[in-house]
Amino acid sequence: METYQFPGSAALFKRAAKVIPCGVYGHFSPAPCVPADAYPFFASRANGSRFWDVDGNEFIDYMCAYGPMILGYGNPVVDEAFRAQMNQADSCSLASPKMVELAEYLVNLIPIANWAFFAKNGADITNFAVMIARAATGRKKIIAIRGGYHGTSPWMQAPGHHGVTEEDQENIVRVPWNDIAALEAVFDRHPGDVAGFISTPYHHPVFADNEMPAEGYWQKVQALLRKHGAVFIIDDVRCGFRLHMGGSCEYFGFKPDLICFCKAIANGYPISALVGVEALKNTAAKVFHTGSYWFSAGPMAAALACLKELKRLDAPEILRAIGRKLNEGMVAIAKSHGYDLKVTGDPGMAYYRITDDPTLMLHQQWCAECTRRGAFFTSHHNWFVSTAHSDKDIQQTWDICDDAFKAIKS
Amino acid sequence: METYQFPGSAALFKRAAKVIPCGVYGHFSPAPCVPADAYPFFASRANGSRFWDVDGNEFIDYMCAYGPMILGYGNPVVDEAFRAQMNQADSCSLASPKMVELAEYLVNLIPIANWAFFAKNGADITNFAVMIARAATGRKKIIAIRGGYHGTSPWMQAPGHHGVTEEDQENIVRVPWNDIAALEAVFDRHPGDVAGFISTPYHHPVFADNEMPAEGYWQKVQALLRKHGAVFIIDDVRCGFRLHMGGSCEYFGFKPDLICFCKAIANGYPISALVGVEALKNTAAKVFHTGSYWFSAGPMAAALACLKELKRLDAPEILRAIGRKLNEGMVAIAKSHGYDLKVTGDPGMAYYRITDDPTLMLHQQWCAECTRRGAFFTSHHNWFVSTAHSDKDIQQTWDICDDAFKAIKS
């Protein structure tokens, strides 16, 4: 099987490193892509389930822009809705009727939602949710899951990260995932001072197997938070509309007070949304929160079209089916080469790990060999599929995966 | 002169209030638009210097989307660059070559800049600047101007705002604008613990006259910060590319370490940028900061086209000339009716206030009468002009202004 070369990416990265900190930063940083010469760094074109790098290499994309791309790049339904709105108005001095339509649609779609609020980043919305929890309760402490991720605002980062002060972290209390006793202990330690609890619907850290909620976990969390009058926040930025159209809480059978959506809400157009229960609407109205482009109408029209299309297709079921098929084949191919490939998390956004690989180097090497052959994987982040991933894509991915295992054995 | 009615806006706002906190929130909230029945709340279309509300009323727009619109709505040069990029790729699993091009362009354009970093909101960038200042110095305190605005993250909000804790504010020290002695006193009070200073290039609060830097102010600030090894951050989100293409610091003759850009950088497409000096590049690389859509290529292509077009036109000079002409006429018309209209700030983004009006009600009434006649003004925020504002627009605005003064006198 032919393997790709990336001279164009390497040259462009050299230029980037001169004028951009890290060259490429944040979750797009190629630093975890090891070995570096097995990965492309810049894309010039994308369509459906695929993108092309600056060297003209074609990839089946299993990162899906790290989540936003759920209907395939250049989805005609979403793109046409976006273009039609852009021909009328986007950023303007007044809000758009599309904002009202989108809020009404979300309130109908999401069982717990009585209202919706729009911003640009996931962090805009997790930040706002925490402020609402504090304003509603008059309390300060926020409970979060150890290893959880809710954006890069200083309070959300791991303690000790560069640029983060102790005061930023002072009101954050971390508990392990799936640990009701630890959660109860926080209420004992901070009586009457817990404003809220924030968590993803299941635990999807990087560099570690993903973990589903234990039987009854969410129902116990919900009861505990209600008992103590603390606000229940679900960060559905990564899972939202991939597990269930009504919010991932519906998939697991519980009712939070606030849900944070971003990523897949508009198939890549920049918008995030907080939805909430009626009891928090007046508080949400009091907390001042805004941004330069938050009223832009184009991404709102795209979100409306994307959500309708996801619902029409029953996308969560499609994604799970595609994911299951892909994953089962991958595990079988690994086994045929004598490797145990562990797959955790939701099938459509699974985390892969080759077991018996304590340094992770084998897994990294295998991901790199797959990428060199046209299946774009990163090593230590969950992957994503889209509704545009076809049987042909999967078959080609399996062939690549098979060849990559041969390569790492030799 | 005909005055507008807004039944469509009123009906839509009623629907909005049911499903969105405040109906319309943040800086777009119509709450300061008094009386409410004189203002449209929703726009359906925009072009050049004008927008049309959902009732079909046409307005000359003096808010310019609160700053982003600098070349006129639907500017063909910027829109074509955006569309061409969107036809290739936008949100993707890899960064775009456009990111490198844009960073290189900014580094060439902005004298102090050796690197650039891109995000979505102004607050993403002010937040990042503050984290860089702390990471670079190992210190905590940030000096900010009392009444200054740098976004709605909890540390940036005024103390006591809903959802803001004391810990959020603990490391923020506020000083009055144009007050070198107060700034010196902070260094005395917190020896060796001032990480940085953040300010807009001139003071443009809401509900108050805007204030230019006093003679020598910025040069003294710069010397003081250098002496104490504190990082000098300019929040150019509102003024950027309106005062000077090299950053507003060039207009006033000083050299900060970091400059925050947003709003006018891409004529309304969602992107913000932090640029900085070489000495802070490695620190910027260490501070982790990212967001779901920060690598989207469409807005980067739009920013590149917008900046080139602004430079080609020498937009800052055009905007000042349009602003001066508009403002001089407005003051003269006010005078002819016996009113003293005070105009402060940069001419192209001036703050207006009718003097001898302690309750502000006269000013509100006048803005409302102008808006009812097709010149869209808000009462207590600076206005903006764009390069698309024509002599015909200005003449029509003067006529409206004249008629509005007649209306408030009767």
- Could you give all domains of chain B from N- to C-terminal order, each with its CATH number? 7-61+315-409 (3.90.1150.10), 76-313 (3.40.640.10)
Question: What pLDDT band is residue B394 in, cutting at 50, 70 and 90?
Answer: very high
Task: Decide if B94 and A42 are in contact by the 8 Å CB cutoff.
Answer: yes
Cβ of A107 within 8 Å of Cβ of B64? The answer is no
pLDDT tens digit string along A41-92? 999 999 999 999 999 999 999 999 999 999 999 999 999 999 999 999 999 9
Q: Which of residues 315-374 of A touch B (CB under 8 A)?
A: none
- pLDDT at residue B158 above 90? no
Nearest CB neighbour to A64, from listed B28, B93, B161? B93
pLDDT band, very low/low/confident/very high, at A31 (cuts 50, 70, 90):
confident
User: What is the pLDDT, as a whole number, of residue A181?
Assistant: 98
* Shortest alpha-carbon distance between residue A245 and chain B (Å): 19
ipTM above 0.95, yes or no: yes
Take residue A141 and report the two structure tokens written for it. Answer: 């402490």
From chain A, pick out residues whose CB is under 8 angstroms from the CB of B275: none
Helix (H) or strand (E) holding B191: none
Any idea which residue has 């505990």 for tokens?
A: A224
Query: Is A277 within 8 Å of chain B by CB?
Result: no
As a whole number of angstroms, the distance between CA A271 and CA B187 comes to 41
pLDDT tens-place string over residues B298-330: 999 999 999 999 999 999 999 999 999 999 999
Tell me the shortest Cα–Cα distance from B216 to chain A, in angstroms.
Answer: 31
Q: Do B163 and A88 touch (CB under 8 A)?
A: no
Query: Rounded to a whole number, what is the distance in Å from the CA of A98 to chain B's nearest CA?
Result: 9
C-beta atoms of A290 and B19 within 8 A: no
Per-residue DSSP letters for B6-70?
A: -HHHHHHHHHHHHHSTTSS-GGG-STTSSSGGGS--BEEEEEBTEEEETT--EEEESSGGGTT-S
Q: Which of A49, A59, A100 to mutate against chain B (most B CBs within 10 Å)?
A: A100
Q: B153 and A127 in contact by Cβ < 8 A?
A: yes
Burial of A312 (0-12, 13-18, 19+ CB in 10 A): exposed
How confident is the model over A122-143, as pLDDT tens digits? 999 999 999 999 999 999 999 9
Residues of A in contact with B21 (CB under 8 A): 115, 117, 281-282, 284-285
pTM of the full structure:
0.98
Across A25-34, B53-62, B135-144, least confident range: A25-34
Q: What is the pLDDT of residue A399?
A: 98
Q: What is the mean pLDDT of the segment spanning B194-220? A: 97
Which chain B residues are within 8 Å of A265, Cβ to Cβ?
none
A287 touches chain B (CB under 8 A): yes
SS3 letters for chain A?
CCCCCCHHHHHHHHHHHHHCCCCCCHHHCCCCCCCHHHCCCEEEEEEECEEEECCCCEEEECCHHHCCCCCCECCHHHHHHHHHHHCCCCCCCCECHHHHHHHHHHHHHCCCCCEEEEECCHHHHHHHHHHHHHHHHCCCEEEEECCCCCCCCCCCCCCCCCCCCHHHHCCEEEECCCCHHHHHHHHHHCCCCEEEEEECCCECCCCCCCECCCCCHHHHHHHHHHHHCCEEEEECCCCCCCCCCCCHHHHHCCCCCEEEECHHHHCCCCCEEEEECHHHHHHHHHCCCCCCCCCCHHHHHHHHHHHHHHHHHCHHHHHHHHHHHHHHHHHHHHHHCCCCEEEECCHHHCEEEECCCCCCHHHHHHHHHHHHCCEECCCCCCCCCCCCCCHHHHHHHHHHHHHHHHHHHC
Judged against a pLDDT cut of 90, whether residue A118 lies above it is answered with yes
**Statement: residue B159 has pLDDT above 90:** no
CB atoms within 10 A of CB B4: 18
* Chain A contact present for B153, CB below 8 A: yes
**Using an 8 Å Cβ cutoff, are A164 and A111 in contact?**
no
How many CB pairs below 8 A link A and B?
Answer: 319
Residue A283 with chain B: CB contacts under 8 Å: 162
Please indicate whether, in this complex, the C-beta atoms of B107 and A28 are within 8 angstroms of each other: no
Please check whether residue B14 touches A, CB under 8 A.
no
